[in-house]
Amino acid sequence: MKGTNFVKKNLLPLLILALISFFAGCQEESSLESTEPRTDKEAMVQIADEDSLLTSFEPNYNEDGVMDIIGKVNTPIYPVRVGQKMRLVNRVLDINVQGDTAYGTLTKTFEGTLFILAKYDSASTEPDTLIQKPFTSTITRKLIFIKIANTEFPKRNWVLAAVSLPEGGTNTPASIDITKMTVFLPNGDTLVINSPNDYYLYRQWGFWWRWRNFPVVPGNSQLTIRVELTSAYEQDDFVTLTFGADARGMHRAKKRFVLVSSNFNGTAYVKVYEQTFQTHQYRGFFHAILNAMPGQVVLDDSAPVEQESWGIPYFVRP
């Protein structure tokens, strides 16, 4: 009798614990099902939205809070600081599923404002005007997903296997065109990009998914970027690099490219710009964003914004 009471006494807490675990499991499963994407496309959109490589673009494309240019800006109009604030207003992911592979085009539309803090009087020691120029920019990127399972939950069935580099700019006809970007990495490797949307970074399966053909650099290391472009104007263009921002927009920095050479080919000026930047010590995914504008965009208070943008992601390791 004593043994029976002992079993009952000790079994009761176990039964209660089992019931609690059961109901908690049901609630967790119910919560999971309520947030789980219902279609393959919804799953791919969510996968792209959560990928650290892709999400590192916008904090660097948006220069809100950082209008400083590292290096002197010496131009006739005397702009002191130039920066752009970008707001994402539309995002579309077009998907073409072919068997176990899905090809996507991610298009993001931004409303931007270019801020130019300038002075009209060359003798003045302080800026005396803030010019604001609204513009619209569209950035595209290609994505490749592969199917790895056939569960009832679409998000578990697909992985993001490859992404292209981002490119885009203003929708108006531009008088500036980036034709080539060369990235010199600290280990001596060189990346040559002629068309960002055709330049893919691939994710390789091993013990875990990892990116292949992807810039992984040590903290506090230097990278050099050479930019080749054509411009309708002889004067220097306004070519900048924004980099280093994390998901919260912290640690953002900006540098202006230096003109290396300029030659007229009969129809346009073929120019080469270079700049070196140093990564910070913080680990994670980041983007270096190249923005190129004709000089008069920042030298003329009435000139509309014409801009072309390319991006290159990189990973900083300790």
| pLDDT greater than 60 at residue 122 | yes
pLDDT at 69: 44
> What's the rounded Cα separation, in Å, for the pair 24 and 194?
54
CB atoms within 10 A of CB 107: 15
Q: Is 196 left (phi over 0), alpha (psi -120 to 50) or beta?
A: alpha
- Select the more confidently predicted residue: 76 or 255: 255
To the nearest whole number, what is the mean pLDDT of the chain? 84
- pLDDT tens digits for range 36-77: 888 999 999 999 999 988 999 999 998 876 454 433 333 344
Residues 6 or more apart from 276 whose CB is under 8 A from it?
222, 223, 224, 225
Name the residue with higher pLDDT: 17 or 191.
Answer: 191
Distances (CA, A) of 34 to 76, 142, 190, 282: 59, 29, 46, 36
> Token match 């004709």: residue?
294
Buried (b) or exposed (e) across 144-176, using 16+ Cβ within 10 A? bbbbeeeeeebbebbbbbbbbbbbbbbeeebbb
Range 115-125 average pLDDT: 75
CB within 8 A of 236, min separation 6: which ones?
A: 75, 259, 295
Which two tokens mark 62?
Answer: 């948006």
> Percentage of residues in the chain with pLDDT exceeding 70?
81
Dihedral angle computed from the Cα positions of residues 35, 41, 43 and 47, in that order, rounded to the nearest 10 degrees? -130
Q: What percent of the chain has pLDDT over 90?
A: 59
- The pLDDT score that the predictor gives to residue 235 is 93
pLDDT in tens, 80-105: 788 899 999 999 999 999 999 999 99
Q: How confident is the model at residue 30 (pLDDT cuts 50, 70, 90)?
A: very low
- pTM score of the predicted model: 0.82
Both tokens of residue 240?
């900048």
E strand or H helix that includes residue 271: strand 269-278
Residue by residue, DSSP assigns 104-170 as EEEEEEEEEEEEEEE-S-TT-SS--EEEEEEEEEEEEEEEEEEE----S-GGGTEEEEEEEPPEEEE
Residue type, 18: A
Q: How far apart are alpha carbons 99 and 107 in whole angstroms?
A: 23
143-166: pLDDT as tens digits:
999 999 999 999 999 999 999 999
- CB contact set of 52 (below 8 Å; sequence gap of 6+): 284, 285
Give counts: helices (H), strands (E), the chain. Answer: 5, 17
Q: Is residue 131 very low, low, confident or very high in pLDDT (cuts 50, 70, 90)? A: confident
In whole angstroms, what separates CA 311 from the centre of its chain? 7
Q: How much is the average pLDDT of 219-238?
A: 95
Give the pLDDT mean for 172-196: 92
